[in-house]
Amino acid sequence: MLFRSRIQQTMPDTLPRKHAAKPNNPEPIPVLLRVHTRVKNENKRGKYDKKLPDTWAHFALVFDCETTTDILQGLNFLWWRFCELKDGAYVCQQEGVVYADELGKASITLIRSFARSKEAQVEEGCPREISCESRTDFVDGEFWDALRMGAAIVCLNSAFDLSRLALEYRPAKAKNSGWSMVLWKDADKPDEHKPRLKIEPKDSRSAFFNLAGGEAGGRVTYRGRFLDLSVLCWALRNKHFTLEHALKSFGLKGKIRHEPTGRVTEKELRYGRRDVERTVALMNAMKREYDGFDIDLPPETAMSAASITKAFLEKMRVAQPARKFRFAGEVLGRCMQGYYGGRSEVRIRHQEVPVVVCDTTSEYPSVAGLLKLWPMLIAAEVEVEEYSQQARKMVARANPGNVLNPAEWEKFAFFALVNPRTIQRRRFYKYWP
């Protein structure tokens, strides 16, 4: 299929006479444009993208931290469950509680006593005792073992919970690429034999996680698999949820109603244990829904609904335009200048203008559908052609009747170079008689 993309080179310097601006002294206004940039002599770093053997990890270590309520929010204790994937669901094989290394003796005694008085909620034939250990023993033991065997490390808020395990942190070596968390130390220095946890923020609510560094014997399979259920919930529901609201959204029983106190008490221990049990239930409910999609995307890489959409396109063998088409930098630069997405703004304030209602659930696919851009996505080839004369004619005949008619919008699927002087005139331009 051959699909031609059109780019306009010039625009008329004058408006139609009936729309001409009154003689005035227009004040200069800034014109801010996006650009397409390339770093000169840039050496692109290869990314670790070894294909995972399974969409869902065969094992999962699920944990949730309870912290102090001061500004540091330091670790008090955490509950964890090690689960195995059986018949499409994660089943708990071992349960444990972990206390902070520096926690007081009285609090540690209470945690140990609580663990001894309860029976682990595990599958038949698994250990019934609840494991109780320090943070250091947990990180050196179950946590490290889970990483080495390729288990998914699952939290509801991974950036927060994982950082509670860190002994120290520092900015990553690459500029503006997040933080490097030290989980293991040898004496007073970071253990060079073990990897560090790298956290690279994607936005204010999600991040990318991987293990970096360490000697060959201390490296782990696939650099770690970290599943943030809050991010997966965002990808499935397009909404941000707390644990309580996420459970309700997936038709599950809620958590214990309790306001954390930042102290170690039996009520806090019951509350934390219930949170992890509900987190496992939520993970299984999400998995059931996610498995309904015929895609090969590992859940820990489903950062948004867009990630899932891209996975569907890959399943349909629709190649991404950036991989399929090659354009000159000049063409891409014009496209970037015309890019007007990612946010909604009001450019005309305090003035009544004609409008048409356009109800959208998701802006990008809605706009793509209204402009009928699907043929370009599935095209085998795209050419750039001159479209100046046609564009000028369309602008000259623009009026509320055709501009506000959705059936006409696909005709505006072209890139145009706008004269800045025209933009200044439009500040004093009556938007239609």
Quote the pTM value.
0.78
Q: Which of 268, 303, 338 is the last residue of a domain?
A: 303
Q: pLDDT: is 348 or 123 the higher one?
A: 123
Contact 408, 402 (CB under 8 A): yes
Q: What distance in Å separates the CA atoms of residue 219 and residue 224, rounded to the nearest whole number?
A: 9
Q: Of 329, 90, 109, which Cα lies nearest the Cα of 227?
A: 90
Q: What distance in Å separates the CA atoms of residue 405 and residue 355, rounded to the nearest whole number?
A: 10
**Positive or negative, the Cα torsion across 372, 374, 375, 381?**
positive
Instruction: Tell whether 149 and 187 lie within a shared domain.
Output: yes
Contact 104, 89 (CB under 8 A): no
Q: What is the pLDDT of residue 342?
A: 52
Domain-embedded: residue 308: no
Domain-embedded: residue 310: no
Proportion of the chain above pLDDT 70, given as a percent: 82
Contact 274, 256 (CB under 8 A): yes
CATH for 174: 3.30.420
Q: pLDDT band at residue 32, thresholds of 50, 70 and 90? A: low
Instruction: Tell whether 75 and 182 lie within a shared domain.
Output: yes
Q: What distance in Å separates the CA atoms of residue 347 and residue 421, rounded to the nearest whole number?
A: 17
Instruction: Tell whether 218 and 329 lie within a shared domain.
Output: no
Sorted by sequence, the CB contacts under 8 Å of residue 284 that are 6+ apart come out as 89, 90
Instruction: Tell whether 197 and 221 lie within a shared domain.
Output: yes
Two tokens at 65? 């931290």
Q: What is the mean pLDDT of residues 382-399?
A: 86
Q: What distance in Å separates the CA atoms of residue 165 and residue 185, rounded to the nearest whole number?
A: 12
Domain-embedded: residue 297: yes
Q: What distance in Å separates the CA atoms of residue 236 and residue 257, rounded to the nearest whole number?
A: 25
Give me the residues paired with residue 166 across strands: none
Domain-embedded: residue 324: yes
Two tokens at 209? 């996680």
Nearest 10 degrees: CA dihedral of 276, 280, 283, 284?
A: -160
Mean pLDDT of the chain: 84
Instruction: Tell whether 353 and 236 lie within a shared domain.
Output: no
Q: At residue 137, what are phi and psi to the nearest 5 degrees?
A: -65, -35
The domain of 357 spans 2-34+319-426
266 has pLDDT over 60: yes
Angstrom CA distances, 260 to 69, 172, 243, 280, stand at 8, 32, 14, 20
Instruction: Tell whether 214 and 71 lie within a shared domain.
Output: yes
Average the pLDDT over each of 106-115, 314-323, 351-360, 413-422 and give the range with the smallest value. 413-422
Q: What distance in Å separates the CA atoms of residue 230 and residue 205, rounded to the nearest whole number?
A: 9
Number of domains in the chain: 2
Instruction: Tell whether 325 and 297 lie within a shared domain.
Output: no
Q: What distance in Å separates the CA atoms of residue 177 and residue 212, rounded to the nearest whole number?
A: 13
Domain-embedded: residue 312: no
Instruction: Tell whether 194 and 220 lie within a shared domain.
Output: yes
Q: pLDDT band at residue 300, thresholds of 50, 70 and 90? A: very high
Q: What is the pLDDT of residue 432?
A: 45
Q: What is the pLDDT of residue 422?
A: 58
Instruction: Tell whether 264 and 392 lie within a shared domain.
Output: no
